[in-house]
Amino acid sequence: MVQLVVRRLLAAVAIIVFLTLALFGLEHLSHTSPVHSYLGAGASAAAVAAETHKLGLDRPIVDQYFHYLNDLLHGNLGVSYRTRRPVTTDIGQFLPATAELAIYAMGLALVLAVVLGIAGAARWRGAGIFRFVMLAGSSTPPFLLALLGILFFSGKLGWLPATGRTGILNAPTGPTGLLTLDGLIHGRISVTLDALRHLILPATCIAFIPAVSVGRILRSSLDETLQRDHVRTARVKGLSEWAILVRHALRNSLGPALSMTGLQAGLMFAGVVVIEEIFAWPGIGNYVAQGIPQGDFPAIAGVTLILSIAYVAINAAVDIAQAIADPRIKL
């Protein structure tokens, strides 16, 4: 187990270093000049030369990369061309909203996936209808699902809000940055409930595709496990199907589902950018979407790096969780 953890962490570090090299290369291959983007098109030649020297862009390319890497290690992601503020400051402001949305979306996806997988494997009555609804939802593009949800649940029924993170003007902003938790910490249940109402539509739109993908893998794995000899022995002993499913089959079937969960996390992060734009969610997806038309490369690269680190960390955690679920996994 220790060897697995060490190797997986070293691999994660190598992937992140390679990612920084790719981002650095893309910045230098792009036609956008950092100096002109920051100073403006009307900057004088002297101002451009001074800013170029200040940013270290007149150094050899290798020195520039190590300078860039050193800045990243010290938490310096550059200055946004659009907001004129450090990218780390902007990300610190917008990241909690994205984190809250992603946590609830992934939590909802895992719950739906487990229900879908177990219901299908156990042949529950009504499982076919549930599976049809899930498949229909996963076959619909997230942006279309979001628009339909806004039109029906917000526009027609008026049950759920269509945009924003909360409708309460004086909502707490700390200490965690997650409104559902901060409302409880400050004893304001109305804030938590309002934040949950705003989370339902965007989180559901993000959760459908991962839920169906993980649920189908879990169901297939459970079907295979239920045909094994140790399960037949458990049936002979007189155990109920539910006890067999939970105690003897579920843990042995988690490996493929956990692998799919790690893969779906990356797709979920991609979906967050689109969903935040539709729901006017004040997260880093909306932040980077506003920076793309202006060529705000520091903001784009900073958000890309943060999401990539999160994706690598999730996959490393999934690999370790697989080893815990199945002790036979060594490397």
DSSP class of 246: I
The pTM score is 0.78
Distances (CA, A) of 284 to 196, 255, 263, 277: 19, 31, 21, 10
The SS3 of residue 319 is helix
The rounded distance, in Å, linking the Cα atoms of 180 and 103 is: 11
Other CB atoms within a 10 A radius of the CB of residue 150 amount to 20
Residue 239: in which H helix or E strand, if any? Answer: none
The rounded distance, in Å, linking the Cα atoms of 56 and 53 is: 5
Other CB atoms within a 10 A radius of the CB of residue 323 amount to 19
| Each residue's pLDDT expressed in tens, for the chain with a length of 331 residues | 677 777 777 888 888 888 888 888 877 776 666 666 666 666 677 776 776 776 666 678 888 888 888 888 888 888 887 888 888 999 988 989 998 998 899 889 888 888 888 777 777 676 677 677 767 766 777 788 888 889 989 888 888 898 888 888 888 887 888 989 999 998 899 999 999 999 999 998 888 888 888 888 888 888 787 777 777 777 777 777 777 777 777 777 777 777 787 778 777 777 787 888 889 889 888 888 888 877 788 888 888 888 888 888 887 777 777 677 666 655 4
pLDDT of residue 3: 73
Place of tokens 């790690």: 262
- Long-range interactions of 10-17: CB distance < 8 A, separation 24+: 11/316, 12/312, 12/313, 12/315, 12/316, 15/312, 16/308, 16/309, 16/312, 17/69
Q: Does domain 93-294 have CATH number 1.10.3720.10?
A: yes
The rounded distance, in Å, linking the Cα atoms of 313 and 306 is: 11
- Judge contact between 322 and 259, C-beta under 8 A: yes
Closest CA to 106 of 242, 250, 214: 214
Residue 221: in which H helix or E strand, if any? Answer: helix 189-225
Amino acid (one-letter) located at 137: G
